[in-house]
Amino acid sequence: MVRVITYGTFDLFHDGHRRLLERAKALGDYLIVGVTTENYDDSRGKLNVAQSLMERIRNVVESGLADEVIIEEYEGQKVQDIQKYGVDIFAIGSDWLGKFDYLNDYCQVVYLERTKGVSSTQLRNESAGVLRVGVAGAGRIAARFVAEARFVSGVSVEAVYSRRFEAAQEFATRLELEWANESYADMLKHVDAVYVATPHHTHYDYARQAIEAGVHVLCEKPMTLSRELTADLFARAEAAGVVLLEAVKTAFSPGFQRMVAVARSGSIGQVRSVDATFTKLVGSGRELHGEDGGSISELATYPLLAIVKLLGTGYTDLRTVSLRPEGGEVEVFSKIDLTFPHAVATARTGIGVKAEGELIVAGSRGYIYVPAPWWLTEYFEARFEDSRQNKKYYYKFDGDGLRYELAEFASMIRSSAPESFKLRAAESIAMADMIESARTGAVFIH
């Protein structure tokens, strides 16, 4: 008897799950299915699981495909299960390609290609609300988004559109999406939501078209480089009754949220200063060219996010000094100084200058220190005059972090919430205003 084992969350069970189990079962005579617990899902970064463990077990049992169902509770259990149950074949979806090669020491490992051709309508109906997502753009960030989406329950990234159809086809084949689109308008007819990951200057048009088609929009940062255009998109989304969210992963990560809560709680007194830096060295690429190139348009959203979340949107003055080398098209380092009624802030960005990427929040009783890279917040300290009062905080930041923004986006759609407290429309509009002011009013040095 050939024994096969596979594992999964099996939340909102749909035809894609069924076909995966059918293909796993066809590999042998006896299929064992491991269903993950809530705690294990949390530890491995799986977000937005809607059903309880017992409901998800029932999903698998009622499929009639499992000869035996077990519970997966901890990392490393697969090795023990394979030996305990005398497993011959470990089967898993190909989106995990290479991840479980180490199990070849215990049994044969088979990666099953992602099921294509599943009816989107059927998928949505059978799963009681799986969110069908299309991707606009076929670059690096779009590829990372597709990979991260597998960690968000109830989301199916199905289609991609690119201005170059060949690029969309290659992207869809490589990442096993259901189809590539020659027409953006056509893709919008077949999805519930779109992730806009195209160059900055195209965001407005792609987001506007989606909103007009009644499609929810998760738009990469910066949403636009203009206060007016960003505000216009939010007004259109409100009128159309769709969700519009700026994809700033830091805003939705557990560590950053907790840091903001600690700082705003009064534990360090009144916040008087925020100093945030984000730099990276870029040798070539779109960041160094064109009207929307430069370190401000590329990176300022992150430090400005920290400033807005900690000090609010009501700044009274903004001054920028930027470095643009002789012969260069864009600024490669900028220092943005903001004044608020009772505080000051500085945002530093660089694509041609490297600096320590830390965040310091200074208060009247103490300060918070977040080490580099602070925008991937996993650890921060609250520090005081009396060091015995210092406190350290540790949090997970899973993967590339895009799962956090997608999970919030999906949750807003399901709950019909027009706004998230983690990143409000007014805050995105304020950041666009700050970016626009910084870029247009910069004093240049060479």
Do 283 and 387 fall into the same domain? Answer: yes
Is the overall model pTM greater than 0.85, yes or no? no
Final residue in a domain of this structure, among 112, 145, 160: 112
pLDDT at residue number 381: 97
Contact assessment for residue 225 and residue 201, using Cβ atoms and an 8 Å cutoff? yes
CATH at residue 81: 3.40.50.620
Do 190 and 294 fall into the same domain? Answer: no
pLDDT at residue number 125: 42
Tokens, residue 291: 């009207």
pLDDT at residue number 121: 41
Do 100 and 125 fall into the same domain? Answer: no
Do 257 and 322 fall into the same domain? Answer: yes
Low-confidence residues of the chain: pLDDT under 70: 114-129
Phi-psi region of 433 (alpha: psi -120 to 50; beta: other; left: phi over 0): alpha
pLDDT at residue number 48: 81
CATH at residue 227: 3.40.50.720
CB neighbour list of residue 311: distance below 8 Å, 6 or more residues apart: 271, 274, 338, 340, 343, 345
Do 243 and 187 fall into the same domain? Answer: yes
Residue pLDDT, tens place only, 277-315: 999 999 888 888 888 999 999 999 999 999 999 999 999
Q: How far apart are CA 67 and CA 90, in angstroms?
A: 15
pLDDT at residue number 33: 95
Phi, psi of 191 (to 5 degrees): -130, 160
Residue 60: CB atoms within 10 Å: 21
Do 209 and 175 fall into the same domain? Answer: yes
Question: What angle separates helix 53-63 from helix 15-25, to the nearest 10 degrees?
Answer: 60
Do 12 and 103 fall into the same domain? Answer: yes
Final residue in a domain of this structure, among 63, 86, 112: 112
Do 169 and 306 fall into the same domain? Answer: no
The range of the structural domain enclosing residue 326 comes to: 251-445
pLDDT at residue number 318: 98
Phi, psi of 155 (to 5 degrees): -120, 135
Do 227 and 336 fall into the same domain? Answer: no
Final residue in a domain of this structure, among 112, 133, 156: 112
CATH at residue 432: 3.30.360.10
Do 177 and 125 fall into the same domain? Answer: yes
Site of tokens 């048009």: 205
Do 61 and 140 fall into the same domain? Answer: no
Report the domain count for the chain: 3
pLDDT at residue number 129: 67
From first CA to last CA, the distance across the chain in angstroms is 74
Do 272 and 377 fall into the same domain? Answer: yes
